[in-house]
Amino acid sequence: MKLAAAVLLIFTLVAFAAPAIAPYDPRATPQSETQKNLAPTASHPFGTDQFSRDVLSRVIYGARVSLGVATLAVLLALTLGAAVGSLAGYAGGWTDSICMRLVDAMLSVPRVLLLLVLVATTGPLTVPGIILLLGLTGWATTSRLIRAEVRQLKERDFVLASRATGTPEWRVFVTHVLPGIIPQILVSATIALATVIPLEAGLSFLGLGVQPPTASWGNIISDAAERPGDAWWVVLFPGLAIVCTVLAVNTIGERLRIQFDARSAARTARRDPIS
Amino acid sequence: MMEDRGPTAEGRGPITLVSVAHLTHEFPARRSLFGAQHAAKVAVNDVSFDIARGETLALVGESGSGKTTTGRAILRLIEPTSGRVTFDGTDVLALEREPLRRLRRRMQIVFQDPHTSLDPRMRVGRTVREGIEAHQLAEGAEADARVARALEEVGLRASDATKLPHEFSGGQRQRIAIARALAVEPEFIVLDEAVSALDVIVQAEVLALLVKLQRDRGLTYLFIAHNLAVVEQIATRVAVMYFGRIVELADAKTLYASPQHGYTQALLSAVPVPDPRVRKQRLKWNTTGS
């Protein structure tokens, strides 16, 4: 857990401080043939790629793009998911039915396939475009989780009690239900983040995501994909960055989930002897 | 939404505050995944009674008899299937959302379990203040003063407002719930098993508090309970519910002295009686009951 948090913290700092840390310009392509596909050395710790660019600098700048895209896409997806889930769960009835059929429809198509089809129709996307695309396709799972939580919360006595005092419905929701779904939103955030990072990398690897020469972890790998045996360092380091980030996010997510589960279990236990 | 038909007089006496007529509530039939049909459950079946201003009507019955559903339907916390509820001449079931919300200042509820009826994340002061703000009864320092007064009136300290519910015992929490109800200065309170979750001594204290509040403020209570012993100390009249119906409704004194319905007799015989001669008497009633 501490290690996972440290990994994420370091990657985040690296992303923010990229210009200060990176030893070279990630886009600089010295024409010198001697700089091409260099194995890791002291001056190029991660080696160089086929365009003579420093891989370490590209991984550092790639953190910026990959983590930035993932974070913003997750924020968008969570906002949408929380909104749809809350609406469906709290309103119930036909509103709920319509929202959930929409979610079923979204989830019936594998997300990768959906993304590929969408990118195929739009053509290569800008970075904001990718964020939008990943965000708009990622809210369905979250909305389901949030809906379940809201449905459970809205039957609680203290929600009923608040309504009974004459508190307007929107305020009942904001003051009593919304704080209760925050743990679920945090857990959802980790799940969504751990899904979106490899998705973005995959799209970029296929050349459908972040467009070169802008570096993202996915498209750095694709630069060496044709002959991975020749320049293993170009594949290994960005690959490790992706794996470490996803593992760290998952570890933190798991920990959060266990903690919230334990807390709600304790709450249920306290309630039992009376009812 | 039902149309707002406005206040109706119905020709009832001016002392009637709450009137319930032919109230029925069915929990809808549900078909399970493999086709097994669960019949609709009639929780409340054609229930009628009036509550006079200032009195306490006790609604007694075992769990599942429809008492809680009746109480909640009167406040429209659930929508009853059919029937009529009038509060001070206003047709409660016909009200639109906003007039209903405003009417809720005058009719309040205290729930059975103070561990679940208080938001665990919310400070006590804010909980009590919620109704004051919802009905714009006061703002700022004046609202604080009202919260303090409500807390003191139920035997807590004004400084308790800054604490969280988990810092209190069950009895104290129930006092907080009562303070929340009182803060909007209601005329009518549904006490939904309000003392059932408390141990005997605390129960007696809270009952005494409720009696005092009623005397001081001229409150009207619908006191829901499953235990006739508790009811005896507070009720003016008692209605006995059994499987969704009211099987007996009488003055408390009359009911305790000569219960008419066999079920009432059975309930009474379940009340622990310290005097062995009386106990013998009651057991005899039970066996000869219809």
A184 in Cβ contact with A145 (< 8 Å):
yes
Looking only at the bridges linking them, the beta strands covering B188-192 and B41-52 are unpaired
Of B209, B250, B264, B202, nearest to B58 (Cα)? Answer: B250
Q: Where are the domains of chain B?
A: 1-30+38-106+188-290, 122-185
Sort out which chain B residues have CB atoms less than 8 A from A275's CB and list them: 112-113, 116
The mean per-residue pLDDT over the stretch B117-121 comes to 91
Report the pLDDT value the prediction gives residue A85, as an integer from 0 to 100. 94
**Which residues is B52 bridged to in the sheet?**
B16
For residue B196, the model assigns a pLDDT of: 86
Token pair of B265, please? 């007799």
Of B75, B101, B115, the CB nearest to A274: B115
- From its phi and psi, is residue A71 left (phi > 0), alpha (psi between -120 and 50) or beta? alpha
pLDDT digits (tens, 9 = 90+) for B5-62: 444 444 444 589 999 999 999 887 766 666 666 677 888 889 999 999 999 999 998 8
Q: Which residues in B lie closer than 8 A to residue A168 (C-beta atoms)? A: 101, 134
Residue A160 touches chain B, beta carbons under 8 Å = yes
Please give the biggest Cα pair distance in chain B.
Answer: 63
Q: What is the pLDDT of residue A81?
A: 95
Per-residue pLDDT, A264: 67
Q: What is the arithmetic mean of pLDDT over A94-107?
A: 92
User: What pLDDT is stored for residue B185 in this prediction?
Assistant: 92
pLDDT of A145 reads 92
What is the count of structural domains for chain A? 1
Cβ distance of A166 and B105 shorter than 8 Å: yes
A131-141: per-residue pLDDT in tens?
999 999 999 99
How many alpha carbons fall within 13 Å on the CB side of residue A187? 19
Average pLDDT over residues B168-186: 93
Q: What integer is the mean pLDDT of B131-140?
A: 90
How sure is the predictor about A266, in pLDDT bands with cuts at 50, 70 and 90?
low
Cis before B7 (ω within 30): no
Task: Tell me what the pLDDT averaged over chain B comes to.
Answer: 85
The helix or strand, by DSSP H or E, that contains position B248, with its residue range, turns out to be strand B245-251
Ramachandran sector of residue B30 (left: φ over 0; alpha: ψ -120 to 50; beta: rest): beta
pLDDT band at B98 (very low <50, low <70, confident <90, very high): very high
Task: Provide φ and ψ at B52, rounded to 5°.
Answer: -80, 150
B127 pLDDT above the threshold of 90:
yes
Cβ within 8 Å of A, B 155-174: 170
Q: Is the pLDDT of residue A230 over 90?
A: no
pLDDT of A82: 94
Taking only the tens place, the pLDDT of each residue in B218-263 is: 999 999 998 888 888 889 999 999 888 998 898 888 888 888 888 8
Structure tokens at A254: 């798991």
A interface test, pick of B27, B97, B119, B124 with most A CB neighbours within 10 Å: B119
Q: DSSP 3-state helix, strand, coil percentages of chain A (rounded to 5)?
A: 75, 0, 25
Q: What is the pLDDT of residue A46?
A: 83
Q: Rounded distance, CA B177 to CA B110, Å? A: 6
Q: pLDDT at residue B207 above 50?
A: yes
Cα gap A26→A58, rounded to integer Å: 5
3-state SS of B60-116? ECCCCCCHHHHHHHHCCCCCCCEEEEEECCEEHHHCCHHHHHHHCCCEEEECCCCCC
CB atoms within 10 A of CB B30: 11
pLDDT single digits (tens) A173-189: 999 999 989 988 999 99
Is this complex's ipTM strictly greater than 0.85? no
| Cα A222 from Cα B117, distance rounded (Å) | 57
- A162 and B119 within 8 Å at the Cβ level: the answer is yes
**Residue B162 backbone class (left: φ over 0; alpha: ψ -120 to 50; beta: rest):** alpha
Domain containing residue A89: CATH number:
1.10.3720.10
Query: How far apart, in whole angstroms, are the C-alpha atoms of residue A188 and residue A122?
Result: 29
If you search the block for the tokens 């309170």, which residue do you land on?
A: B189
- Per CATH, the number for B1-30+38-106+188-290 is 3.40.50.300
The alpha-carbon gap from B36 to the nearest alpha carbon of chain A, in Å, equals: 23
What CA–CA distance (Å, rounded) separates B177 from B122?
13
CA distance B277 to chain A (A): 34
Across the range B77-87, mean pLDDT stands at 92
Tell me how far apart the alpha carbons of residues B37 and B31 are, in angstroms, rounded to a whole number. 5
Measure the CA–CA gap between A74 and A197, rounded to whole angstroms.
10
Structure tokens at A43: 């001056």
- A70 pLDDT more than 90: yes
Q: Which of B108, B113, B197 sits opposite A164 (nearest CB)?
A: B108
CB A58 within 8 A of CB A23: no
Cβ neighbour number for residue A106 with a 10 Å cutoff: 18
Q: How far is CA B187 from CA A3, B59, B180, B184, in A?
A: 60, 18, 14, 9
Residue type, B57: L
A42 within some domain: no
Cα angle, residue B119 at apex, residues B113 and B122 outer, rounded to 5°: 140
Tell me the CA end-to-end span of chain B in Å, nearest whole number. 44
**Please, which pLDDT band fits residue A21 given cuts at 50, 70 and 90?**
confident
Alpha carbons A70 and A72: distance in angstroms, whole number: 6
Best of B95, B116, B176 to mutate (most A CBs within 10 Å, chain A): B116
Q: What is the rounded distance in angstroms from the CA atom of residue A204 to the CA atom of residue A213?
A: 11
Rounded Cα–Cα distance for residues B114 and B237 (Å): 26
Helix and strand tally (H, E) in chain A? Answer: 12, 0
Check CB contact under 8 Å for A157 and B181. Answer: no
Least confident among A47-51, B126-130, B260-264: A47-51
**CB pairs < 8 Å spanning A and B:** 72
Q: What confidence score (pLDDT) does residue B85 get? A: 94
Query: Higher pLDDT residue, A231 or B167?
Result: B167
Q: β-pairing, B220-225 with B56-60? A: parallel
Q: Return d(Cα A238, Cα B172) in angstroms, integer.
A: 59
Let me know: does B60 contact B231? Beta carbons within 8 Å: yes
Q: Write the burial class of residue A40 (CB in 10 Å: 0-12 exposed, 13-18 middle, 19+ buried).
A: middle
- Domain of A104, in residue numbers: 55-269
H helices within chain B, ranges in order? Answer: 67-74, 97-103, 124-134, 140-153, 170-182, 200-217, 228-232, 252-257, 262-269, 276-288
Q: Is the pLDDT of residue B2 over 80?
A: no
pLDDT of residue B4: 41
The predicted structure's pLDDT at residue A173: 94
Neighbours of B128 (CB within 10 A): 31
